[in-house]
Amino acid sequence: MKKPSNSSEISRRDAMKLITAGSAAGILGLFSSPQARAETRITPPYTTGMPPVKIKSVKAIATAPEGSNLVIVKVETTEPGLYGLGCATFTQRAMAVITAIDSYLNDFCVGKDVDNIEDMWQSAYVSSYWRNGPVLNNALSGIDEALWDIKGKRANMPVYQLLGGKSRIAVDCYAHASGPTPEAVADRVQQFIDQGFRHVRIQQGGYGGVGTMEKKPDFVEAGFGTEQDQYMDQHTYLKRVPEMFNVVRKRCGEDVELLHDIHERVEPVDAINMIKELEQYHPFFIEDPFSPENMKWFKHLRAATMVPIAMGELFNNINEFRDYMVDQLFDYIRVHISQIGGITPAMKIARLGEWFNVRTAWHGPGDTSPVGHAANAHIDLAVWNFGIQESHFWSEKAQEVFKGCQTYKNGYMYINEAPGLGVDINEKAAAKYPIGTRSRWTVRKSDGTIIKP
Ligand code: GCO
Ligand code: MG
């Protein structure tokens, strides 16, 4: 029987190779310790890994080509021309993320190996001791995604290949139809159907119907709050949503999948009753029925109706919702990937979902950068339990700043096949669109009470 070989045994042929290679170290290796021999053994190049590459600098690039603040992290390496990009967009507090990147993560990362993404994630995550907030998680996502981008470039493969390869032809998406009236929303839905979309999210006005309420709120009359504060009448909203579904179903038929985002803006018990009413229109999913402060309400929601639920763009960390996923209290996990810290934690969440048949529906609004949308899409292509992807159509300005933006055909999102994440940034063009510090998230009831969020 042939004896199995191990590192302390070198065959005659290997020894000859070492000798003919004229390697003094190799010859020494024949007679020295097993460890020294292992160090000098000849291995084919595909098993040796790649020469070490270190992080040279980490910096934030801020830009707002479409008006929303976007933050990108650029990780430059000791390998000339090799860099990675990651999305670190927390649009409402972009300056705080930029500080975290430029003042802290640069220091933390420079000189470290680009290879060990998991180790970088774990060590950076605890490097502030106090952790797991939106600012630091977004900054961390920028590093994480940039390192995946670099790994893909080094391997000469798109990132989805590193995640296991394709599970599907392309990324099935939903488009956004909104309008001031249900009829206007239905017209928009029809346009998307005609373009080949199978899924459309419907909203009358802004989230919660903001901007479409006829009544003038009492807080404005009383001079309470500021002029920018928005008004929402929860009662009107709760009545309007089923009406909107009814009109859209009548006009656009039963085949199109309809989605809706509650955006947490009503009392949990009211959300439950409204979702029950929507059953007859069989929605594809209803999104964010409760704020993350109200997780215990899911038990009551599930007991009342089995309308599919998507949840979680405000989540920070898998520990906040693990039990709710495991208990199958929602159907689609909707995290904002940069908010949870990037591709590394998103893959863990996706895999956890596979065990419990909870599917992915990553957050993909205009305040996720094209780099972030690419990260969404690479995971969408690779994991088995992909559900649906929120789409965003990039303007010319955005495409001037970001090369390699996602494209759409027949309701599918396509990414380019370039190595890494496939999106590049033109820093000169980015500088033409400075970011701002205003965020408009004050929504009030008529009496002035703040509505979350
Ligand atoms: C969505 C979201 C967004 C968020 C926005 C916050 O489902 O697309 O709810 O529109 O409100 O990303 O900045
Ligand atoms: Mg949402």
Tell me the CA–centroid distance for residue 258 and ligand 2, in Å.
14
For residue range 345-400, list pLDDT tens digits in order.
Answer: 999 999 999 999 999 999 999 999 999 999 999 999 999 999 999 999 999 999 99
What is the pLDDT of the chain when averaged over all its residues?
A: 91
Same structural domain, 203 and 93: no
Query: Taking ligand 2, which is a single-atom ion, which protein residues have CB atoms under 5 Å away?
Result: 261, 313
Residues 116, 202 within the same domain: no
User: Active-site residue among 125, 207, 324, 332?
Assistant: 207
End position of a domain, from candidates 108, 126, 160: 160
Ligand nearest to the CA of 391: 1
Tell me the CA–centroid distance for residue 203 and ligand 1, in Å.
12
Question: Which residue minimizes the CA distance to atom 10 of ligand 1?
Answer: 365
Do 197 and 124 fall within a single domain?
no
Which among 66, 261, 315, 441 is the best mutation to test ligand 1's pocket, defined by most ligand atoms within 8 Å of the CB? 261
How many structural domains comprise the chain?
A: 3
Residue 390 CA: which ligand 1 atom is closest?
8
Query: Are 65 and 199 in a shared domain?
Result: no
pLDDT of residue 297: 98
State yes or no: pLDDT of 14 exceeds 90: no
Query: Is 300 part of the annotated catalytic residue set?
Result: no
Average pLDDT over residues 267-286: 98
Q: Is residue 229 part of a domain?
A: yes
CA 150 to ligand 2 centroid distance, Å: 30
Percent of the chain with pLDDT over 90: 86
Residue nearest to atom 8 of ligand 1 (CA): 365
Residue 120 counted as domain residue: yes
Q: What is the CATH number of the domain that holds 80?
A: 3.30.390.10
Q: pLDDT value at position 34?
A: 55
Ligand lying closest to the C-alpha of residue 311:
2
Kindly give the distance from the C-alpha atom of residue 290 to the centroid of ligand 2, in angstroms, as a whole number: 11
pLDDT tens-digit readout, 168-195: 999 999 999 999 999 999 999 999 999 9
Could you tell me the pTM of the whole model? 0.89
Choosing from 93, 363, 443 the residue with most ligand 1 atoms within 8 A of its CB, the one to mutate for a pocket test is: 363
Q: Is 174 a catalytic residue?
A: no
Cβ < 6 A, ligand 1 pocket = 91, 261, 263, 313, 363, 365, 367, 390
pLDDT band at 438 (very low <50, low <70, confident <90, very high): confident
Note whether 176 and 156 are same-domain residues: no
Domain with 26, as residue range(s), is: 1-43
Ligand 1 atom closest to the Cα of residue 365 is 8
- Nearest ligand 1 atom to alpha carbon 364: 8
Q: Is residue 341 part of a domain?
A: yes
Residue 328 lies in a domain: yes
Do residue 196 and residue 338 come from a single domain?
Answer: yes
Q: Compute the average pLDDT of residues 323-335.
A: 97
pLDDT at 1 over 80: no
Name the pLDDT band for 10 (thresholds 50, 70, 90).
very low
User: Residue 440: what pLDDT?
Assistant: 84
Please give the distance, rounded to the nearest whole angstrom, from the Cα atom of residue 27 to the centre of ligand 1.
Answer: 64
Residues 155 and 172 in one domain: no
3-state SS, the chain, equals CCCCCCCCCCCHHHHHHHHHCCCHHHHHHHHCCHHHHHHHCCCCHHHCCCCCCEEEEEEEEEECCCCCCEEEEEEEECCCCCEEEEECCCHHHHHHHHHHHHHHHHHHHCCCECCCHHHHHHHHHHCCCCCCCHHHHHHHHHHHHHHHHHHHHHHCCEHHHHCCCCCCCCEEEEEEEEECCHHHHHHHHHHHHHHCCCEEEEEECCHHHCCCCCCCCHHHHCCCCCCCCEECCHHHHHHHHHHHHHHHHHHHCCCCEEEEECCCCCCHHHHHHHHHHHHHHCCCEEECCCCHHHCCHHHHHHHHCCCCEEECCCCCCHHHHHHHHHCCCCCEECCCHHHHCCHHHHHHHHHHHHHHCCEECCCCCCCCCHHHHHHHHHHHHHCCCECCEECCCCCHHHHHHEECCCEEECCEEECCCCCECCCEECHHHHHCCCCCCCCCCCEECCCCCECCC
Q: What is the pLDDT of residue 213?
A: 87
Q: Is residue 108 part of a domain?
A: yes
The pLDDT-based confidence of 407 (bands split at 50, 70, 90) is very high
pLDDT band of residue 42 (cuts 50, 70, 90) is low
